[in-house]
Structure 1
Amino acid sequence: MTTATLPPAALTALLPHPAPAARRRESAGFLVRPARESDGPALAALSRPFVRTGALRERPLALYLSRASDFLVAQAADGTVEGSLGLSRHSSDGVLYNFCVAEHRQGSGMGGRLLQAAFARARGRALTMLFTATTGSGRLFLGHGFVPSRADLAPAAWARTLDPGRGARVLARTL
């Protein structure tokens, strides 16, 4: 699939900055766009409740600032970042990480839109497989084509960072 045949929401996710207001694709009061370095503090703040519950590992603000280009964000109409998802490249595979949707937005379709935008971004980067780890049910991932996998099938550098004490399950999806 070429960029010209991607659905409008996927095209928005591939743009380096939000499209002009007339071309933005908003639904349910939010748009999905690539993160900017200036989104670093919002990414860190959005992650905090998930860190407190143990769903995410704590990451320093410096990581969000330096790796902002990894992230897609879901931005509310008022400009608030209410969802995020990181995609890192490991050769021909990708890893989705730090997936967060604000509590009041869960169940709104925001997580699904972030995943779809990440799939489009991964395909645009010629990635063939995506991996993630979850300490939760994984329902959203499973509903979007992920299946349980083994850590030894994932990119080795990423798999070495998994903390067995957290009880995370590795999931994978072919693109």
Structure 2
Amino acid sequence: MTVPEITPEEQSALDTALLDALTPLATAIRSRATGLPEHRMWEGDPAEVALSVLAAWKHVDAEVRRLTATAAGTAGSYGASYEQMGAVWGITRQGARKKWPDAVVRTPATAPAALELFGGTAELAQDPSSRRWTWTGRGADGERGTAGADTGYATREEAAAYAGAFLQEHAAATP
């Protein structure tokens, strides 16, 4: 997936939103640094005022980097590769791996995993080509179930949750 460029209107709206978010932070930083009330933030040496704004941007930059890493981790948890992340970010696969080293977690075990709940059992397996997880199970009542031909889950845990819900629904009846 490549990301299209944003339109001039979108760029303008983004600039406005960022400046609107930045102003209270820059004002607070300037007020603390000078002891001036916030409504007088723009008074004083222009270089000092500009440095207060720069200090606020530093905090915004750090937060954007943190949120970007979270977004990359989320994409990786759903199966996105470093190559895909790099393509969206405009960098190489290696650059994406360096930028977000923990975003893609290689699941070492692709062998089926057994799940035993509510008197039934389910097997979880990862499709090697799609890297999606599926499940098949047999409830305590003898009912068989599966994730379905078109269903796959991004993580083993997600597949286990659906398999567990099936096993709970088909638990042995208590006398």
TM-score of the two chains, using structure 1 as the length reference: 0.25
Q: Give the helix-richer structure, 1 or 2.
A: 2
TM-score of the two chains, using structure 2 as the length reference: 0.25
